[in-house]
Amino acid sequence: MKKFISALLALLLAAALTPPAWAEELAVEAQSCLLMEKTTGQVLYAVNEHEKLEPASVTKIMTILLVMEAIDGGALRYDDVVTASAYACSMGGSQIWLKENEQMTVEDMLKAVCVVSANDCSVALAEHLAGSSEAFVEKMNRRAQELGMADTTFVNPTGLPAQGHVTSAYDIALMSRELIANHPDIRRFTTIWMDSLRDGESALTNTNKLVRYYPGATGLKTGSTDSAQYCLSATAERDGMELIAVVLKSPTSTQRFEGAKTLLNYGFAAYGLAEAAPQEPLRPIPVVLGEKAAVTPEICGETGILAPKEKLAAMTVRTELQPQLEAPVEKGQPVGTLTVLSGEETLAELPLVAGEDVPRLTYWKILLRCLQTAFLAG
């Protein structure tokens, strides 16, 4: 039964998200690309999304994610001091030219990674968090598996060229979504256009030009090497909907930014995100022989409905609840369905479940309730 319901929901979502015909004509100069909506995780457009390619410094999204998870989990603090090792200082490529034994806070190093893609700071943070770069890479790959990134193998925390260091546009979208959805404080860093470190001595200018020039841009990470060419995971938010546009192996830097803009423009023009949850609380359902007289239903699952804008314009919501329940009632027990419609088309069906446990009255409690009722009646 569960498999049938899951399959039905997948079919409904696929129907609701059928892209307009002109979506097939998007001009993105890249080997692989993908557009995903953050809240639902739905893919709105994709080309070669599972092709394994070098991500260059887009790799650092996973490095940043692990750092943010440590901060939000209490294992790391922004004001913790990190000491740069000789190895971290030897990275080359994009960097802030750390010197061996130089000390800097986690916040400043994270800023350097997000804004100028500093390889030296990426390794310094990795070593500080896991003890060594190799141990950190193990954490990266383990987290990738947990997120379902089946196309990904990390070899280092920077994205510098290395044999077997590959991922896909789809996997990059997955880790990008995890970062922006669950660690919103990262925006403090990914939206910086210009800043500085070392009391103003080290100027920082974001490698992601969309942060300055694209309305609603929120990040996220650029990357480029001779072999990976030009890569980007770009995020932007408008009207409460945040999109993730991934572009891999564009021939030029300009083409990667233009490709991301094309994807984002398409998503914002064609799709919208609407709230399906009713503004008024759902009516309580009477419970027969329960220790409580009624139970309040709750919506199970994500209530944001992603669909083409023309379908959202005609959106209505229909609620169907069981007339009554018999105790015992378990929290999470199905009690009805909330159906989201656009005209006659079903956009989504969301299960309604019991919001709490309602134990069944024991014999003695039933007797006591009867005596109380008789006493009050007399």
The residues annotated as belonging to the active site are 57, 60, 117
Nearest to 110 by CA among 145, 149, 73, 66: 66
Determine the Cα–Cα distance for residues 198 and 219; give it in Å rounded to an integer.
24
Q: Tokens standing for 218?
A: 């929120």
Angle at 68 between CA 63 and CA 73, to 5 degrees: 130
Contact 155, 165 (CB under 8 A): yes
Please provide the DSSP assignment of 292-330 as one string: SSEE-EEE-S--EEEEEHHHHTTEEEEEEE-S-EES-B-
Residues 209, 212, 214, 215, Cα dihedral to 10°: 160
Helix (H) or strand (E) holding 349: strand 345-354
Q: Is 149 exposed, middle or buried (0-12, 13-18, 19+ CB in 10 A)?
A: buried
Residue indicated by tokens 């403090």? 188
Alpha helices per DSSP H over the chain? 2-16, 60-72, 86-89, 106-116, 119-130, 133-146, 169-182, 187-190, 210-213, 253-270, 309-312, 363-377
Determine the Cα–Cα distance for residues 173 and 171; give it in Å rounded to an integer.
5
